[in-house]
Structure 1
Amino acid sequence: MAWLSPAFPIGGFAYSGGLERAVLDGLVKDASGLSGWLSSLLRHGFLWNDAVLFGVAWRRFEDEAGLMETAELGLALAGSAERHKETLSLGTAFAAAASAWPHPVLDRLPTAVLFPVAVGAVAAAHGVPAVQALAAYLHAAASQSVSAGIRLGVAGQTEGVAILADIEGLITEIAGKASLATLDDLGGATVQAEIASLRHETQHSRLFRS
């Protein structure tokens, strides 16, 4: 709970995962659209891939070469410079902050470590079960997106809480699947989200870094 709290010093509040551009382009207009956006990312987008990478890193936490391979593949899958910067910045910050819970796994993490790999490996090293850790990770990601949506004006706070309540079942489902997934299960089909992330790179005025 501490690692995935908004108070954990990784700067997650500064990123929207392309949502800001999606709102500007009219792809997400209201709370219903935000809920659909999140559900799509969880089932078919970068959040699914993050969950798969998390699960693989959880199983490989004692394998330095395996963690390196997983991190390199994950970074190569970043569909835009914004997405690459976001996951790398969060991963690096997480690894640094997690040193408050000393463990040899921190020395096995690659220098360029993406966020789900860092969290997955550290969770495994400290004995946090994979499904529970994945559910917490995905819930935190969804909460961040909802918070961004509220700041962008497409949902109110009450609507945001309702979105989180509605997708609890989906988060549980995805966490269970991803805990058993392999790198062969990576893949996505959220083309509009990828385009939004690309277009955000050249957006003149913005609230978020991605």
Structure 2
Amino acid sequence: MLMTTNEPPPVDGRSAMTEVDQAALYRLMTWLSPSFPVGGFSYSSGLEWAVEAGDIGDAASLREWLAAMLADGSGFCDAVFLAAAHRAVEADNARALREVAELAAAFVPSRERQLETSTQGRAFVEIARAAWDCDGLDQVIAQCGGTIVYPVAVGIVSAAHAIPLEPSVHAFLHALVSNWISAGARLIPLGQTDSQRVLAALEGAVAATARRAIDASLDDLGSGTFRADLASLHHETQYTRLFRS
């Protein structure tokens, strides 16, 4: 059965983006770009210790480690927190937002991971307020009531700007994996081509993790990456360090 709409046909077979879609894409690309000054380049999420310990030594082992962190560790959990914060803002549910923010701030395995996610979250919020302010943003920031970790910061700012949840989660996970690969490339080290091969190999895992996180609730939170958590803990006392986590 054919369905008809009042929308004009696409030009040259292409579907046209609305101005709202264009604005959302522009902002996500800006906020989650490596050039956005949240200091992501300073952190390795424990990768520095994993490289020193011999767990990661080439592109293949880096890919396997990151796939686990993404699907069964901090990647999935952060995406769930982003989604929950985004939904709370959309629903104008201040109590739910505060609970998400508090849980996310407590849901870290080490002091350095706490430093990493809280520092990036604070920077993201401050820059958004200074350069990308919008109606209601100050209110939802205040509703968090305390520390705003990075995924919650991305969730509330995206929702305040009316950017849909699905692309926000996908873009966040892509940026997260890209930063991990950048750290790995400097530590192993890897060449640019091998780094891109790792990123390409993780495309399906990023998409699958995003879908799981969007469909998940806070009850689904959990991590199975014990070795990565140990890496984060050991990094605190690592003798020689390039990264802050």
TM-score under structure 2 normalisation?
A: 0.83
Structure 2: distance between partners of 1:112 and 1:76: 10
Residue 28 of structure 1 contacts residue 154 of structure 1 at CA under 8 Å; is this kept in 2? no
Instruction: Give the aligned partner of residue 56 of structure 1.
Output: 84
- Give the gaps of 5 or more residues in structure 2: 1-28
| 1:151-203 Cα shifts (integer Å, max 9, x gaps) | 10242211110111111111111111211211001000100000000000111
Between the aligned partners of 2:225 and 2:182, the Cα distance in structure 1 is 21
- The residue number in structure 2 matching 1:107 is 139
Checking the alignment, whether the CA contact within 8 Å between 1:54 and 1:117 is kept in structure 2 is yes
Task: Select the structure of larger CA radius of gyration.
Answer: 2
Contact (CA 8 Å) 2:56, 2:188: kept in 1 or not? no
Matched, 1:47 2:79: no
Question: For 1:28-83, what per-residue CA distance to the aligned partner results, in whole angstroms no more than 9, with x for missing partners?
Answer: 11100110111001111011100110110110113332222111111211100011
Q: Which residue of 2 aligns with 1:175?
A: 210
User: Out of 147, 164, 175, which is 1:129 matched to?
Assistant: 164
- Runs of 4 or more above 4 Å deviation: none
Alignment partner, residue 64 of structure 2: 36
**1:2 paired residue among 30, 37, 40:** 30
Whether 1:24 aligns to 2:47 is no
Note the alpha carbon deviations across 1:70-115, whole angstroms, 9 max, x for none: 1111121110001111100000000001111212233322341000
- TM norm structure 1: 0.96
Name 1:11's counterpart in structure 2: 39
Q: Cα RMSD (Å) of the superposition?
A: 1.1
In the aligned structure 2, how far is the partner of 1:98 from the partner of 1:32? 37
How far, CA to CA, are the matches of 2:138 and 2:72 in structure 1?
A: 30
Unpaired runs of 5+ residues, structure 1, are: none
Identity %: 46
Match of 2:105 in 1: 75
Aligned partner of 1:20: which letter? Answer: E
The aligned counterpart of 2:123 is 93
How far, CA to CA, are the matches of 2:94 and 2:195 in structure 1?
39
Q: What's the CA shift for 1:125?
A: 1.7
Q: Which residue of 2 aligns with 1:140?
A: 175
Query: What is the correspondence of 1:140-159 to structure 2 with a 5 Å cutoff?
Result: 140-159=175-194
CA contact 2:76–2:210 (8 Å) conserved in 1: no
Measured in 2, the distance between the counterparts of 1:105 and 1:161 equals 36
SS at 1:29's partner residue? Answer: coil
